[in-house]
Amino acid sequence: MRSGDDAQDLLLQDRSITEFLQHLAVLGERLFGDDGEVPCGLMSQRGNKRSTVANSSPTAGILDEGQTRAGDGPALHALASGDTVVVHDAARDARWAEYFRLAQALGYASVLAAPLRLGTEGVAVLTFYAQPGDFFTPERQRVVTVFVEQASRALEMAMRVARHQDASDNLLSAMESRTSIDIAIGIIIAQNRCTQEEAFTILKSASNSRNTKLREVAEALIVQATGQSSNTHFTN
């Protein structure tokens, strides 16, 4: 039985949670489908201590760690403020010049840092990096917002479970499946402007019609979800 007093230790040390966060970062990278590589990193903070806890690629890890070394940046600002931060073009943005030199050297112009709202369970932020300038359009920002809302709920639940029992591989698999489904539901809500119940019905209908597991349909939708073409979402 865990004491329940240290959310940061769960984020950094619990195997099931760290694997869950890694899965979440990979799902984040897939969120924009064929619109180009969008590495995704996840950072947490407790007091003045900041840590990179997961990333979808080594590039995302370098970009996240670069903010820690510079002492400021979009993700750190999002952690401190609780607000989503959007960088449309690092070459034109004067807020974090030292960090943006690293981002530009690696070929990334656009950044979106979105806080994960975990209630009493801790503070974290997902940061998305894209090479083209002005990548994070209002529509893509909206898709990220829904993704993060669903991810926050799933992560908060996972942390609560991890406080009270050692997670088995079956539990981890179930949480990953639930995360994929919840995030897919969020994408459908954002793209179809429907209720959560209607979104689940759409997802379940697609699963039944394709004779495919709900999780597989959800993950396929996540990969495709760019919000830019008619074939990126299910319709009634």
Q: pLDDT at position 122, please?
A: 65
Domain total for the chain?
1
Q: pLDDT at position 221, please?
A: 84
**pLDDT tens per residue, range 32-82:** 876 778 999 999 876 566 677 889 999 999 999 999 888 889 999 999 899
| Contact present, 117 and 81 (Cβ < 8 Å) | no
- Asked if residue 2 is part of any domain, the answer here is no
Q: Which of 150, 158, 167, 154 is nearest to 225 (CA)?
A: 150
- Asked if residue 232 is part of any domain, the answer here is no
- Asked if residue 235 is part of any domain, the answer here is no
**What percent of the chain shows pLDDT beyond 70?**
75
What CATH number is given to the structural domain containing 200?
3.30.450.40
DSSP 8-state code for residue 231 = G
- Asked if residue 130 is part of any domain, the answer here is yes
Decide if pLDDT at 235 tops 50: no
**pLDDT tens per residue, range 166-224:** 444 555 566 667 778 878 888 888 778 788 888 889 998 988 888 888 888 888 887 77
Q: Which of 84, 101, 105, 83 is nearest to 93 (CA)?
A: 101
* Tokens standing for residue 83: 């607000």
| Buried b or exposed e, range 36-48, using 16+ CB within 10 angstroms | eebbbbbbbbeee
Contacts of residue 29, Cβ cutoff 8 Å, sequence gap at least 6: 37, 38, 39, 40, 56, 57, 60
Q: pLDDT at position 173, please?
A: 62
- Asked if residue 74 is part of any domain, the answer here is yes
- Asked if residue 203 is part of any domain, the answer here is yes
- Asked if residue 236 is part of any domain, the answer here is no
Domain that includes residue 184, residue range: 7-227
| Contact present, 18 and 159 (Cβ < 8 Å) | no
* Tokens standing for residue 220: 């396929």
Counts for the chain of helices (H) and strands (E), in that order: 9, 5
